[in-house]
Amino acid sequence: MIGGKEVEVMGIISPDDFNSGRCFQLGGGSLAISSSSQAAKKCFSNPFKSVCKPSSKENRPNGFQDCKPRHDPHAQNSLVMSRPDNNHQWMFNKSCSPIVDVVIDPYLVYHLRPHQKEGILFLYECVMGMRVNGRCGAILADEMGLGKTLQCISLIWTLQCQGPYGGKPVIKKTLIVTPGSLVNNWRKEFQKWLGSERIKVFPVDQDHKVEEFIKSPFYSVLIISYEMLLRSLDQIKNVKFDLLICDEGHRLKNSAIKTTTALISLSCEKRIILTGTPVQNDLQEFFALIDFVNPGILGSLSSYRKIYEEPIILSRQPSASEEEKELGEKRAAELTCLTGLFILRRTQEVINKYLPPKIENVVFCRPGALQIELYRKLLNSQAVRFCLQGLLGNSPHLICIGALKKLCNHPCLLFNSIKGKECSSTWDENEERSLYEGLVNVFPADYNPLMFTEEESGKLQVLLKLLAVIRELRPTEKVVLVSNYTQTLNILQEVCRRHGYAFTRLDGQTPVSQRQQIVDGFNSKYSSDFIFLLSSKAGGVGLNLIGGSHLILYDIDWNPATDIQAMSRLWRDGQKHPVHIYRLLTTGTIEEKIYQRQISKQDLSGAVVDLTKTSEHIQFSVEELKNLFTLHESSHCVTHDLLDCECTGDKDHTGDSLEKVPISRNCQLGPHHQKSSSLKPLSMSQLKQWKHFSGDHLNLTDPFLERIRENVSFFFQNITNQSTVI
Ligand SMILES: Nc1ncnc2c1ncn2[C@@H]1O[C@H](COP(=O)(O)OP(=O)(O)OP(=O)(O)O)[C@@H](O)[C@H]1O
Ligand SMILES: [Mg+2]
């Protein structure tokens, strides 16, 4: 933006053009950029005036568009779409117009990742009906963060301006349906990649109604939420849309819901579903999605059930006979090759090599003296003893676990719980009283939780040293600080205030309408925030926090997916710095046990961990509770002890190649769709490959770890993409 005007750099003027002043003559000098873009010739005319004007035949001498491709197909790095084959021409080129190459705008190609170029080619061939005879549907199921939005924007821009037959544009109007919280995100993405001159998009919100879009020929893209679509369906039906895109389209998996029938009722043939989840997980849903993008391609639901679904499911049963297994495999293969033509899924790996290095650290922090005393007292309490004798129902162990986890975060949180319980009437005799009895006396007599100190918590001490060293060594970089608990976020917020660290916060209480601007504020390079306080429950999916390059997980969740979601907010496309991730655990305490449970993917009794369960539903045997309620005071790191690693605590070389993690897909169509390793919980054997060393190890190479080692008993570290140069 210059002087309130939006200015777009179309190319670079060569120094001698500038020095000679040639570039200021009308018609411009021999500009350095390729001669193919007409706009550059008239260097001060509005470059976009002539773009995409609907071509009226009479203004062309031979009745056809000028049959030159819009962009030079032979230029270096040009991305040219496949040409239609004879069969396609026979079907779609009755007027025998000349074939013209369709070339993606070099302005966009410059930014595209290789997988995105392939994705655009895939989408083009699908919607042009080049992949499946007479069918124009596609499902783009790339993992989150791979840029499905940009791939669609590039497709729309190309089809709106170009076409294979005489250069006639393929589409005029596009309808994008997306969850409400992403309408704004799509507008921003169009703006980010195409500016606001090329395509006029119309996002529907409370101030912009569908009528406005219909009345004005100005807009070519309507962006609307699924909810609003249902409400304005009648008006939408009157518009002729040439392309329909359903973002987060897995919600259409249930063909019975109103939204799906509403969308099916639109007469638009070119349909794209975008989703970050593999569609093949459930054959029932699979049919609905396939039948949405390419209606009827799998026959009727009943015949699909008989031909594909039943034999496949039957062949997966342990009791299946040989021929049943054989038939099921054949049908699954048949189904995959039929639908594989218009389904594309890539996983995180495809951009990992373009991303900056990721340095993951697991930091075992020594508990403070007060914490140890309180921890012992809790373990000797009557409530814990009852749990260990399995005398009570299931709930008291949760209270004990909760108390221990609070204590690991900071003793003042435990103090507040005790005080909170004393005055509240729900003080239940045989539960919390027995847990908290005598605990207050362990605190100093005049203990004031508001005046809590950092020394009282091992993790807090390490956190503060870490924030200080980040501030010092990377003064322009920012930190995302994650906790699962609001009360802990309050403590951390108070600590930021005390140390003058500017912060912003997003948790369960933050209204959805404010979240995007909080995130944008943090990501913008002008923001002064040093710390983004994030509650993992609120910030999990969809947030893009690439403005931060250090992530600190202050506490741990039973469900590894929660932590993985939080960690993948930073290390994604658009990240400019190496990403440092720190997971803080209090040495020898319940936090180590929870971490062990996460990485072993089995709980301590060996049953497979159900990732979907939150802590409320986890069943513990008395055996496990005994293990959970044990404080290891002498060990540097209980987790490391469990690895039966032969090192003497100074193993700082990485082991041989990672052992192959068994594919634990529940995908019914066979292991076609791996979850990328960065999204899969770490396993014990993988952790063993990480560099690891005890806190008092001499020459720590990492400057950040070097500065925080005083209260640290053990480190694990793993570096991905070490070689990537930023
Ligand atoms: N080629 C690229 N270069 C730089 N940044 C990119 C590129 N492609 C996408 N991005 C950015 O990466 C982020 C993620 O892109 P996008 O939101 O399209 O992902 P997605 O595939 O829709 O993920 P999700 O499944 O979570 O919705 C966006 O901020 C986008 O601007
Ligand atoms: Mg998306």
- Distance, in Å, from the CA atom of 210 to the CA atom of 203, rounded to the nearest integer, reads 9
For residues 66-74, average pLDDT: 89
Ligand 1 pocket test: which of 143, 149, 250 has the largest number of ligand atoms within 8 Å of its C-beta?
Answer: 149
CA of 150 to the centre of ligand 1 (A): 7
- Distance, in Å, from the CA atom of 247 to the CA atom of 288, rounded to the nearest integer, reads 16
- 97 Cβ below 6 A of ligand 1: no
Is the domain of 229 the same as that of 200? Answer: yes
14 domain-assigned = no
Tell me which residue range forms the domain holding 404.
369-442
Q: Which residues of 105-132 are buried (b: 16+ CB within 10 A; e: fewer)?
A: bbbbbeebbebbbbbbbbbbbbbbbbbb
Question: What are 307's two structure tokens?
Answer: 């031909």
32 domain-assigned = no
Q: For the segment 512-533, what is each residue's pLDDT rounded down to a tens digit?
A: 778 888 998 999 988 999 999 9
Backbone angles phi and psi of 602, in degrees to 5: -115, 155
Is the domain of 541 the same as that of 411? Answer: no
Q: Does the predicted TM-score (pTM) go above 0.90?
A: no
Question: What are 369's two structure tokens?
Answer: 């003296």
Is the domain of 276 the same as that of 205? Answer: yes
pLDDT, position 391: 65
What band does 564 get if pLDDT is binned at 50, 70 and 90?
A: confident
Q: For the segment 275-291, what is each residue's pLDDT rounded down to a tens digit?
A: 988 887 788 899 999 99
CA of 723 to the centre of ligand 2 (A): 29
Q: For the segment 384-401, what is each residue's pLDDT rounded down to a tens digit?
A: 888 888 765 556 788 889
For residues 482-491, average pLDDT: 95
Q: For the segment 335-391, what is each residue's pLDDT rounded down to a tens digit?
A: 998 899 999 999 888 888 889 999 999 999 999 999 999 999 999 988 888 888 876
Q: For the segment 646-705, what is each residue's pLDDT rounded down to a tens digit?
A: 776 555 544 333 333 333 333 344 434 444 555 566 777 788 889 998 888 777 889 999
Is the domain of 292 the same as that of 421? Answer: no
Three-state SS string over 474-515 comes to CCCCCEEEEECCHHHHHHHHHHHHHHCCCEEEECCCCCHHHH
Assign residue 695 the CATH number of its domain. 3.40.50.300
- 145 Cβ below 6 A of ligand 1: yes
Question: What are 25's two structure tokens?
Answer: 């003559």
Is the domain of 114 the same as that of 228? Answer: yes
Ligand 1 pocket test: which of 108, 150, 191, 576 has the largest number of ligand atoms within 8 Å of its C-beta?
Answer: 150
Nearest CA to ligand 1 atom 1: 112
Is the domain of 288 the same as that of 393? Answer: no
691 domain-assigned = yes
Three-state SS string over 235-284 comes to HHHCCCCCEEEECCHHHHHCCCCHHHHHHHCCCCCEEEEECCCCHHHCHH
509 domain-assigned = yes
Assign residue 262 the CATH number of its domain. 3.40.50.10810
The H-assigned helical ranges of 643-711 are 684-689, 703-708
- Distance, in Å, from the CA atom of 531 to the CA atom of 499, rounded to the nearest integer, reads 12
- 311 Cβ below 6 A of ligand 1: no
pLDDT, position 50: 39
**Which of the listed residues 286, 313, 348 is the one where a domain comes to its end?**
348
The larger pLDDT score, comparing residue 38 to residue 160, is at: 160
Is the domain of 423 the same as that of 472? Answer: no
CA of 145 to the centre of ligand 1 (A): 5
355 domain-assigned = no
- The distance in angstroms from the start CA to the end CA of the chain is 27
Is the domain of 427 the same as that of 483? Answer: no
499 domain-assigned = yes
- Distance, in Å, from the CA atom of 259 to the CA atom of 251, rounded to the nearest integer, reads 9
Report which bound ligand comes closest to the CA of 679: 1
- 574 Cβ below 6 A of ligand 1: yes
Q: Is the pLDDT of residue 37 over 60?
A: no
Which ligand 1 atom sits closest to the C-alpha of 189? 31
Q: How many domains does the chain have?
A: 3
Q: For the segment 579-620, what is each residue's pLDDT rounded down to a tens digit?
A: 999 999 999 999 999 999 888 754 444 444 454 555 556 778
146 domain-assigned = yes
The DSSP secondary structure of 94-122, one letter per residue, reads TT-PPB---B--HHHHTT--HHHHHHHHH
Is the domain of 591 the same as that of 686? Answer: yes
Ligand 1 pocket test: which of 113, 120, 191, 573 has the largest number of ligand atoms within 8 Å of its C-beta?
Answer: 573
Is the domain of 459 the same as that of 411? Answer: no
Can you name the residues that pair with 272 across neighbouring β-strands? 138, 245
Is the domain of 470 the same as that of 429? Answer: no
Is the domain of 463 the same as that of 435? Answer: no
- 404 Cβ below 6 A of ligand 1: no
390-398 contacts at long range (C-beta below 8 A, 24 or more positions apart) = 390/622, 392/431, 394/619, 395/431, 396/431, 396/435, 397/620, 397/625, 397/628, 398/615, 398/616
Q: For the segment 161-216, what is each residue's pLDDT rounded down to a tens digit?
A: 999 999 999 999 999 999 887 898 899 999 999 998 899 999 999 889 999 999 99
pLDDT, position 665: 34
pLDDT, position 28: 44
pLDDT, position 170: 97
Q: Which amino acid is at 180?
A: G
Q: Is the pLDDT of residue 316 over 80?
A: yes
By the 8 A CB rule, do 92 and 129 touch? yes
pLDDT, position 224: 97
148 domain-assigned = yes
